[in-house]
Amino acid sequence: MLEAINLDCVRGERRLFHNLCFRLKTGECLLVRGENGSGKTSLLRMLVGLTAPADGAVHWQGSPIKKLGDEYRRELLYCGHPLGLKDDLTAAENLISGMALAEESVTQDAVREALRQAGLQGREHLSVRALSQGQKRRVNLAKILLQKRALWVLDEPLTALDTQASQWVMGEIDRHLSHGGIAVLTTHQDIVLAGKTQLIRVGA
Ligand SMILES: Nc1ncnc2c1ncn2[C@@H]1O[C@H](COP(=O)(O)OP(=O)(O)OP(=O)(O)O)[C@@H](O)[C@H]1O
């Protein structure tokens, strides 16, 4: 279970949100909505432990994430901004080095299959510099097929994706939820998921 308890977010002089609460159980998804600059990314960064809330706490399985540290990070997959890809490496090399950083092993076949499912067949060995924006995002999102994590936190996963790739991502989120995963995502697009979805609006 992921729980946000009375979160306060202050950026510079501005209070972006106050007393924000939600509770997500297995199989549930939270959609975070709001205008540009309303604090969606700030909220996601708090949920993954990259930004400290001005007040309040985030709990995972009943314990504060601050206390859980690496134990929490091992349960977490975060696809944020920037995409965190190395331009000089190929898509496959990026995924392999990402897995090594996450201290997880992966086979070449699994990487090839993840890139195929992400629609990048035939482009695995191009340096990321040579890929389009949508293709770069697909490389980043291919992580969801490789890293087996209970909690996905995805910041605007559909940005720059075409219809087919968007459907692929939504299908993968649905599959994750149906296997008892939890997801939090921001999006400006309309999104329909099969699983139970909560909606939160920041900055309103
Ligand atoms: N480190 C920082 N210092 C000061 N202000 C910041 C910092 N990071 C973000 N902000 C400000 O906080 C506000 C919210 O930013 P955030 O990125 O969370 O918005 P967002 O809702 O994700 O926006 P978008 O839809 O454009 O991605 C913005 O006004 C931004 O300028």
State the distance from the centre of ligand 1 to the C-alpha of 21, rounded, in angstroms.
Answer: 19
**pLDDT tens digit string along 82-126?**
888 999 999 999 999 999 988 888 999 999 999 999 999 988 889
- Exposed, middle or buried by CB within 10 Å (0-12, 13-18, 19+), for 74? middle
Closest residue to atom 30 of ligand 1, CA basis: 37
ipTM above 0.90, yes or no: yes
> Ligand 1: which of 13, 15, 32, 42 to mutate, judged by most atoms within 8 Å of the beta carbon?
42
**b/e 183-193 (16+ beta carbons within 10 angstroms → b):** bbbbbeeebeb
| Closest atom, ligand 1, to C-alpha of 43 | 18
Q: What is the pTM of this model?
A: 0.93
Is the minimum distance from the CB of 187 to ligand 1 under 6 angstroms?
A: no
pLDDT at 25: 96
Residue with tokens 């890809």: 85
Rg (the chain; Cα; Å): 17
The distance from CA 190 to its chain's CA centroid, rounded to whole angstroms, is 17
The domain defined by 1-75+151-204 folds into Rossmann fold (3.40.50)
Residue nearest to atom 10 of ligand 1 (CA): 11
Q: List the residue whose alpha carbon is closest to atom 18 of ligand 1.
A: 39
The sign of the dihedral angle between the CA atoms of 162, 75, 128, 126 is negative
